[in-house]
Structure 1
């Protein structure tokens, strides 16, 4: 059977709309097809505006030669788009150009290639998902979250490098931290562990903090025989997936066919994936040790003649060179991700230079076997990619990954959705043993059944190449031998961590570093005591976890009091009262559970006795409450809104603050830092 390839590349647009000044994203990809169908095609990405797409089709010579060995005619169509030219660059390669009006939502397009060969007419069809985004040449709006290694503080900073939020823990990170949609922080921690504690990335603790820094729950997975490490993934049901080492004794390792010369006296650490609920109960488990194979010791039950014939199993004797491998830490999984639609788990296997995909739909019993689950394969590997030599397939030329980190599925709705993004730490080792790091994106060989097609001709899972690569210019200017990661943004940009030098940058699809507010290339660098940061995580300003916090862009008055405010004219619409207040900045808005009043004259004292407040005096930057004898003051000149909600049954009364700066609104249940005071029950007395 012959295999054929379709390569698609986005060309530079001929015209950009007024909505964007960015170029169309340059993306190319290579996929395997046969003569009658296309397995899958990566999405086309672009910006709003008119542009062109160049489709290059490469088919086997047997299909494209007539009886006289001449090239047969080929037709290429892309949805309803018309090809402006079809050119043949050689016998088997055909190029067609198409014009795209990206002001309209294109959705899925049909890629159709037709030709006539010796066996008659043939056609290739594929769905191509077209995503059109406004690629931003500036840094994406939002915040970065990180926890410096060796410290107990987690930081959330804005694009200007200003710390907006911190959380304190009793533990150093072990290693990842994340914000959840409910505004809580999930933070790993390092448990005291005499067996695993000397290895980088060891953890054992997972904590959950609310926005105010209060600890909600803690789970622990750490003992003398097992320990969680590196990374976690929170599932939609709230359970947590842990990467964990399991201690295999020296005798057990040798009994499983491990070469005795490769087993330390203290044994071998074999990775596992443990799912726990927030009460610390184990609800699902998967162990590498249930799926090992070897061709070293023919006296063992797991012996096979050819490991390459068992891609779903793990060669117990595969290892990198001794200088690259911890004597005990065999596989060293360093990241984990979950795909809810597929119910599959993706892990980065550092010491194999591979990524693996595992079926999560199994029971624990099925996960220990080779049957069951949606795949019918139990706990065997559904897919592996990056280094086919790890199961005795391919050659050095086929290796793409080298001791990588942070393998993630690109989220739905993001440019590249469904593709896998990887931080390829030692990519340069595959290029004449140079020292440089890349970030790569590729399309896994996923079929319509949610499984992965093994390429019999290659002898391993495709694809043979990636569809996007970022590297510095020159490449050796950016080299991170360990840790770090990359994260795709909704606008098509990618943030890239240099964890060894504790900084993060953002690049667009062309690989160019984007600019900050000052017009210079944006970069945030942590300048504290730690010299290592595992990974920076980016959260956009509209992230759900910021709702109701001081970082919420929504109007505080609207969110908490049902009041709509128009910034331009300061129109306050009070629901249920049938009228509108029009105020000048600054103003005070008072609510006593029954009625509202707006004080807008900053030189007048107002009788507010009906609100149980006696009198409030409003000045440009302060408010004075005569009942309590307190001043509320502002230290800057920004416009501000002060809301007092009076609850007469409480003494002292409760106060709520909203601070309006331009179009950014912040709401406070308690006194914010920029107000001199001590919280909702009192402020500085003067």
Structure 2
């Protein structure tokens, strides 16, 4: 993997290859962040962990296709949602725990979230007949035979194959409607941003049996003891209180917020609670909402992948949001929750293709502020900087079989729902064998260049200078072999140069003062400031 250079330096890298790869590592820049990327192909049973050079570091193989996501836990085990089962496996692929969700009446979908206490938050389909939903104030003209809302359950793993539901939250308990004053939940929608208008979406918008709310992402904030979820069909994201009991979560009081299970904060489409027009909508079929991790550059902000919406907005973007909290209350302005706009946004092209994913996909922030972007249909994961600089792209080569270079890979044949990048110092890697095991595909010129770069960069990074310099001799900690070595004064003039250098010192004859020594090897350049006495 590529090592960061921590001294005062300038690093430049360029790659040249005769034919660009079509799978595996497609692009690499030296500003890529250190770490390992975890992904699960949608069309086979594998889970892969790769390094920045596109080499496989570990692989887990399951007995069923993925339901969607997987996470590497802080104890080094892997949590994966399958089509039916939740499973936890150790680094060596041994099953430690599995639980059959469907058999136990839990239709889990899209995303899960591991909690610090070892429990797991799950998004569950919560279905109701048209009779039941009409009794809750749904306009009979906007209802199918069955409507799927969503609920969140917290599972506590027990033994090796069992679990207990220890907490639950449901959308059905937090509805409002202004259609029928003889039915439940009647009220003025604009006065109750803590509730969901059951009549906002009608049956012509989407198959409501799949989900009126269609929650597709969930995350947990341990500092706040709050949960954030993404409701695709409402184009909104919501924060709810996890500090409640299940009884309190079904009502409107209790918990740290004393709002029970009502919505604490919502954002993306204020039309849903009648506080704006079309021009105020900011999110469009969004996915993968997350808080930025503690200790990261943008700690506490919220990241989200903004898909776009067919003909309305035929492009995708990624964003950061920065909600404002006063006490235990999220603040509003003109009756809409703050912020009024995104804290940061990026949208554009990756490898000359405009980013546009109508469904699925995801994003999250990294420790240095860089962003991971997953384009699901392409099976492609990229990294960009906050300045919008493209620094890394990897395309999943694993479908029903392994795609090799220059084979035609149609969209969705190598798809991945999401990908997670973990920094190199992530606690879950402690004591684990991170030895690269080669690329997944048959060949890759960019990976080969990356591996060469890693070796050279490691060598050049290990050069130490005895600083300050005295006795007209610039000394190093070892014999160094370089394509060139230069000394540059503070005016930018090269006052000494030596090509094909191999020695442990350089005789110099310069005045006292500050200088830059420049090392060059295989197009990598490192610069260090030195003091000459």
Q: Does the TM-score normalized on the shorter chain lie above 0.5?
A: yes
Q: Partner of 1:148 in structure 2?
A: 41
Q: Partner of 2:151 in structure 1?
A: 272
2:317 to 432, 438, 444: 438
Q: Partner of 2:253 in structure 1?
A: 371
The 3 A distance-change label for structure 1 pair 536 and 461 is: same
In 2, the alpha carbon distance for the partners of 1:224 and 1:217 equals 15
Q: Partner of 1:539 in structure 2?
A: 422
1:565-576 matched pairs, under 5 angstroms: none
Encode CA deviations 1:467-490: one digit per residue, 9 max, x unaligned. 111111599711011111111111
In 2, the alpha carbon distance for the partners of 1:18 and 1:153 equals 40
Encode CA deviations 1:296-339: one digit per residue, 9 max, x unaligned. 122102111x2111111111111178355545411011111001
Q: Partner of 1:675 in structure 2?
A: none
Q: Partner of 1:31 in structure 2?
A: none
Are 2:129 and 1:249 equivalent residues in the alignment?
Answer: yes
- Structure 2 residue runs of 5 or longer lacking an equivalent are 1-5, 12-28, 400-412, 437-461, 463-533
The 3 A distance-change label for structure 1 pair 428 and 400 is: farther
The 3 A distance-change label for structure 1 pair 294 and 181 is: same
In 1, the alpha carbon distance for the partners of 2:199 and 2:354 equals 35
1:188-337 matched pairs, under 5 angstroms: 188-191=81-84, 205-222=85-102, 226-265=106-145, 267-279=146-158, 280-304=163-187, 306-319=188-201, 322-324=204-206, 326-337=208-219
Is the CA contact (8 Å cut-off) linking 2:58 and 2:434 kept in structure 1? no
Deviation at 1:257, TM superposition (A): 1.1
In 2, the alpha carbon distance for the partners of 1:396 and 1:20 equals 49
The 3 A distance-change label for structure 1 pair 434 and 371 is: closer
Q: Partner of 2:493 in structure 1?
A: none
Is the CA contact (8 Å cut-off) linking 1:434 and 1:476 kept in structure 2? no
Q: Partner of 2:390 in structure 1?
A: 513
The 3 A distance-change label for structure 1 pair 233 and 328 is: closer
Is the CA contact (8 Å cut-off) linking 1:546 and 1:552 kept in structure 2? no
1:418 to 293, 300, 307: 300
- Structure 1 residue runs of 5 or longer lacking an equivalent are 1-16, 23-135, 192-204, 515-521, 554-567, 569-686
2:336 to 434, 450, 460: 460
Deviation at 1:535, TM superposition (A): 0.4
Deviation at 1:211, TM superposition (A): 0.6
Is the CA contact (8 Å cut-off) linking 1:183 and 1:545 kept in structure 2? yes
Q: Partner of 1:670 in structure 2?
A: none
Encode CA deviations 1:190-232: one digit per residue, 9 max, x unaligned. 12xxxxxxxxxxxxx2110001100001123325964111111
Superposition CA RMSD, Å: 2.4
Deviation at 1:503, TM superposition (A): 0.7
Structure 2 SS opposite 1:500: helix
In 2, the alpha carbon distance for the partners of 1:327 and 1:292 equals 18
Q: How many residues align?
A: 398
Encode CA deviations 1:529-586: one digit per residue, 9 max, x unaligned. 2432100111122221111121189xxxxxxxxxxxxxx9xxxxxxxxxxxxxxxxxx
The 3 A distance-change label for structure 1 pair 288 and 339 is: same
In 1, the alpha carbon distance for the partners of 2:301 and 2:202 equals 27
In 2, the alpha carbon distance for the partners of 1:370 and 1:309 equals 15
In 1, the alpha carbon distance for the partners of 2:201 and 2:167 equals 28
Q: Partner of 2:277 in structure 1?
A: 395
The 3 A distance-change label for structure 1 pair 498 and 187 is: same
Deviation at 1:379, TM superposition (A): 0.4
Is the CA contact (8 Å cut-off) linking 1:428 and 1:437 kept in structure 2? no
2:348 to 472, 488, 494: 472
1:546-557 matched pairs, under 5 angstroms: 546-551=429-434
Is the CA contact (8 Å cut-off) linking 2:229 and 2:289 kept in structure 1? yes
Structure 2 SS opposite 1:365: helix
1:169-188 matched pairs, under 5 angstroms: 169-188=62-81
In 2, the alpha carbon distance for the partners of 1:391 and 1:148 equals 38
Is the CA contact (8 Å cut-off) linking 1:339 and 1:409 kept in structure 2? yes
1:76-225 matched pairs, under 5 angstroms: 138-191=31-84, 205-222=85-102
The 3 A distance-change label for structure 1 pair 20 and 317 is: farther
Is the CA contact (8 Å cut-off) linking 1:225 and 1:247 kept in structure 2? no
In 2, the alpha carbon distance for the partners of 1:20 and 1:454 equals 46
1:348-359 matched pairs, under 5 angstroms: 348-359=230-241
Q: Partner of 1:451 in structure 2?
A: 329
The 3 A distance-change label for structure 1 pair 181 and 408 is: same
The 3 A distance-change label for structure 1 pair 345 and 284 is: same
Structure 1 SS opposite 2:418: coil
The 3 A distance-change label for structure 1 pair 317 and 464 is: same
Q: Partner of 1:36 in structure 2?
A: none
Q: Partner of 1:491 in structure 2?
A: 368
Encode CA deviations 1:399-449: one digit per residue, 9 max, x unaligned. 1100000110011121111111100000786xxx341100011111222x2
The two structures have a TM-score, normalised by structure 1, of: 0.56
Based on CA coordinates, which of the two structures has the bigger radius of gyration? 1
The 3 A distance-change label for structure 1 pair 275 and 531 is: same
Q: Partner of 1:384 in structure 2?
A: 266
Q: Partner of 1:528 in structure 2?
A: 398
The two structures have a TM-score, normalised by structure 2, of: 0.71
